[in-house]
């Protein structure tokens, strides 16, 4: 009975860690930062031309290119984590921030060459296992409970933002002006 309780608590803690990491990466990093970059990259005319050219490239070349980018991006993320643990938080955040556009390009490359990459049996097997891991995480009760809590926090954040940043205070004006300026720069580049 004692060992069973310890095992149950250990499994709960491991599930909690997996769920929290998954939520942080999916909801915070992917949805708010990487996905907009991915969408922007996906719309670039240059990359649409590159996608057509990639269809003519040997599948082994595509695989090597994808794996080099993937290992580089994941290595940079791990290195940023090590730097953060060592107290170099600002440098770690900068490194992690710099890796996000490369990660978005890597996701684009995967989707642009998915049929070539999945033509490798081991790659397809690995990809399916990763997808089943994500499905397993999302099926856990702790995931659903944590997501419900996150939705509640998001509602409170939205209410806070509307209360303190909806009016014409100086800080809100500066943020809006900066946003319009950055939006204009991005539109000009298109």
How many whole angstroms separate alpha carbon 178 and alpha carbon 108? Answer: 28
Q: What is the CB-side half-sphere exposure of residue 45 using CA atoms within 13 A?
A: 2
**What per-residue confidence (pLDDT) applies to 67?**
94
Domains in the chain: boundaries: 2-139, 141-190
Contact 137, 22 (CB under 8 A): yes
What confidence category does residue 123 fall into, taking pLDDT thresholds of 50, 70 and 90? Answer: very high
Average pLDDT over residues 37-42: 69
Maximum alpha-carbon separation in the chain? 66
**What per-residue confidence (pLDDT) applies to 72?**
93
* Number of separate helices (H) and strands (E) present in the chain: 9, 0
- Higher-confidence residue of 181 and 79: namely 79
For 91-104, give one letter per residue: b (16+ CB within 10 A) or e.
Answer: ebeebbeebbbebb
Cβ atoms within 10 A of the Cβ of 80, count? 21
Average pLDDT over residues 150-162: 75
- Ranked by mean pLDDT, the top range of 11-25, 96-110, 169-183 is 96-110
How many whole angstroms separate alpha carbon 8 and alpha carbon 5? Answer: 5
Of 41-55, 84-98, 111-125, 175-189, the range with the lowest mean pLDDT is 175-189
**Residue whose pair of structure tokens reads 């991915």 in the numeric block:** 38
Of 62-71, 93-102, 162-171, the range with the lowest mean pLDDT is 162-171
How many whole angstroms separate alpha carbon 162 and alpha carbon 185? Answer: 27
């Amino acid at each position: 009975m004692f060992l069973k309780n310890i095992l149950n608590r250990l499994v709960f803690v491991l599930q909690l860690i997996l769920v929290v990491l998954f939520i942080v990466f999916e909801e915070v990093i992917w949805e708010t930062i990487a996905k907009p970059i991915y969408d922007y990259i996906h719309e670039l005319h240059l990359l649409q031309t590159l996608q057509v050219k990639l269809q003519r490239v040997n599948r082994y070349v595509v695989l090597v290119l994808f794996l080099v980018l993937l290992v580089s991006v994941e290595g940079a993320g791990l290195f940023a984590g090590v730097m953060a643990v060592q107290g170099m938080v600002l440098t770690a955040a900068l490194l992690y921030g710099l890796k996000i556009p490369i990660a978005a390009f890597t996701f684009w490359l995967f989707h642009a060459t998915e049929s070539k990459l999945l033509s490798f049996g081991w790659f397809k097997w690995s990809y399916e296992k990763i997808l089943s891991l994500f499905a397993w995480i999302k099926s856990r009760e702790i995931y659903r409970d944590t997501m419900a809590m996150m939705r509640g926090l998001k509602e409170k954040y939205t209410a806070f933002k509307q209360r303190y940043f909806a009016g014409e205070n100086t800080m809100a004006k500066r943020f809006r002006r900066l946003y319009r300026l950055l939006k204009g720069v991005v539109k000009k580049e298109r």
